Amino acid sequence: MKIAFVSSEVYPYAKTGGLADVSGALPKELAKLGHEVKVFMPKYYPVSEYEYNLHYDNYIGEMKIHIGGISHNTHVFHGYMPDSTVDIYFIHNPHYFHRQQIYTDNWDEDERFILFQKAVIESIQRMGWSPDLIHCNDWQTSLIPLLIKDNYNWDKLFEKTATLLTIHNIGYQGRFSQETLSKTEINGKYFYPNGPIEMEGDVNFLKAGIHFADKINTVSPTYANELLTPEYGAGLDNSLWQRKGDFSGILNGVDYSIWNPEIDKHIPNHYSINDLSGKSENKKFLLKHFNIKYNPNVPLIGIISRMVVQKGFDIIAEVLNELMGLEAQWIILGSGESKYENMFNVLVYKYPDKIGVYIGYNNKLSHLIEAGADIFLMPSHYEPCGLNQIYSLKYGTVPVVRKTGGLADTVQDWNEYNSYGQDIGNGFSFYEYSGKALLQSVNRAINDFHNKLIWPKIQYNGMIKDYSWHHSAEEYNLLYKRTFRK
Ligand code: ADP
């Protein structure tokens, strides 16, 4: 099939979270399955033509993209995704995409992604390439199904084009005031109370995608079920209910050419399921980096996360003193809400021999933490898929998670599964969203860390799991076929 894969972030070019990892890996796997894939993303300021060998696409040339009747000159750069022959196209418009961050709270955030989506469609037109399927990801791309069904339906190129929308996180919907409607140039007939693109008087991009895409999926089976409930649906549960027959969950894969302790290029000591000695060396290295004394009998707990409520920082805060009272060491990497950043900065002053904190984004350190920590904590309030717990499993770093979304689909609680007589537990989990439940699970993990018979078994159960993209890509392959047939 001919597939256009559209995403606002793609690793290694631009990343704020898991969406980039997915967009960097899935298209390459799809190409291996025989699909012709073309990836589209914005050309943000740091995306270097020199570093990635990108070339101005003369064939596409200069496009005049309309936003509310005003035209904006836009170009395209072309390249190939790393270690592959998959085409990637970068929508180039410095006015909109050369900003400090990938996502902003600037007044024209809506315009940035209206331009992106229209420019993707018009690039495809200029190529004269008729995709069988356009795979949209999150709100930044979710007007495309409506745009090609309506605004661009005069073009026979899209006559047979199917659309799939993947929801990576329902917490971000692309909600803007009613004025945005005229900027999109979408027909006003779609905007009415509780209609396909309206929410409480606002325009809602994600809602439009849910309504008009031929199929919709999200990034784990459990999250798909959760999204149909008011608790997790963030106001879109009814819209999803209406599309229930077309809605499913496919667990993300991970890229083991990047996240594998046997070959990880960011860690000083490689190790494998057969010999974990390199892991202790990495722990020493990591602790030294933070000036904390190494002690093989004290477990090191790692956190790598956006510091927002979604990731469970409010329940960590609830029991912070109790956590610091445990016989454990901590390395924390992340950035986000300043109250959580400050909370950890204060802890470093209070407990310098116990906790190391890096506020910011640091890819190398994220690999080092996975390789050096004994336990990984991820107490998310909700988690569409979650990647770090899957990396942790591969690195023999036992995850402690809240049982939600993709965390519930990948982490089996050691005690719970053992009570069924199965020796398959690979981590620890808790259901109730509270500091108390979190603390209990961390305590269970620390106790078992000291049990030299049990702990290697838990690590082993995680390390043998295979969450490579290969499986997930096969599932997308089937979903594409179903979407196209529809
Ligand atoms: P989300 O997409 O909700 O942020 P995921 O677990 O799906 O969460 O993916 C997060 C990705 O971003 C992982 O690859 C993780 O290692 C990375 N990451 C998150 N915060 C940081 C950080 N501060 N520094 C480096 N990598 C980070």
Q: Whose CA is nearest to atom 26 of ligand 1?
A: 363
Q: Whose CA is nearest to atom 12 of ligand 1?
A: 17
For residue 35, how far is its CA from the centre of ligand 1 (angstroms)? 28
Verify that 347 and 281 share a domain, yes or no.
Answer: yes
Give exposure, 192-208, as e/b (b: 16+ Cβ within 10 Å): eeeebbbbeebbbbbbb
Verify that 223 and 301 share a domain, yes or no.
Answer: no
Phi, psi torsion values for 311, nearest 5 degrees? -85, 5
For residue 304, how far is its CA from the centre of ligand 1 (angstroms)? 7
Is the beta carbon of 366 within 6 A of some atom in ligand 1?
Answer: yes
Give the span between the Cα atoms of 405 and 383, in whole angstroms: 5
Is the beta carbon of 21 within 6 A of some atom in ligand 1?
Answer: yes
Predicted pLDDT of residue 80: 98
Predicted pLDDT of residue 52: 98
Verify that 224 and 239 share a domain, yes or no.
Answer: yes
Terminal alpha carbon distance of the chain? 15
Give the domain CATH number at 315: 3.40.50.2000
Verify that 187 and 321 share a domain, yes or no.
Answer: no
For residue 373, how far is its CA from the centre of ligand 1 (angstroms)? 16
Quick one: CA torsion of 121, 164, 167, 125, rounded to 10 degrees? -10
For residue 328, how far is its CA from the centre of ligand 1 (angstroms)? 23
Give the span between the Cα atoms of 52 and 90, in whole angstroms: 11
Residues of the chain with pLDDT under 70: 419-421
Q: Whose CA is nearest to atom 9 of ligand 1?
A: 18
Predicted pLDDT of residue 415: 87
Q: Is 472 left (phi over 0), alpha (psi -120 to 50) or beta?
A: alpha
Is the beta carbon of 406 within 6 A of some atom in ligand 1?
Answer: no
**What are the distances in angstroms from CA 129 to CA 120, 133, 179, 229?**
12, 11, 33, 39
Atom of ligand 1 nearest to the CA of 16: 12
Range of the domain at 350: 277-467
Verify that 348 and 227 share a domain, yes or no.
Answer: no
Atom of ligand 1 nearest to the CA of 333: 23
Verify that 419 and 440 share a domain, yes or no.
Answer: yes
Verify that 186 and 67 share a domain, yes or no.
Answer: yes
The tokens describing 143, both together, are 């007007």
264 part of a folded domain: no
3-state secondary structure of 5: strand
Residues contacting residue 299 through CB under 8 Å, at least 6 positions apart: 328, 329, 374, 375, 445, 446, 449
CA contacts within 13 A on the Cβ side of 255: 19
Verify that 456 and 478 share a domain, yes or no.
Answer: no
Verify that 139 and 249 share a domain, yes or no.
Answer: yes
Verify that 162 and 300 share a domain, yes or no.
Answer: no
Predicted pLDDT of residue 486: 76
Predicted pLDDT of residue 58: 97
200 part of a folded domain: yes
DSSP string, 161-201: -EEEEEES-TT---EE-TTHHHHHT--GGG-STTSTTEETT
Structurally, how many domains does the chain consist of?
Answer: 2
Verify that 221 and 300 share a domain, yes or no.
Answer: no
Cα 258 to chain centroid, rounded: 16
> Which pTM value belongs to this model?
0.94
Per the CB < 8 A criterion, the answer to whether 177 and 148 are in contact is no
Phi, psi torsion values for 408, nearest 5 degrees? -65, -30
The tokens describing 177, both together, are 């005031």
Predicted pLDDT of residue 419: 67
Is the beta carbon of 363 within 6 A of some atom in ligand 1?
Answer: yes
Predicted pLDDT of residue 424: 86
Crossing angle (nearest 10°) for helices 18-32 and 469-485: 80
Is the beta carbon of 17 within 6 A of some atom in ligand 1?
Answer: yes
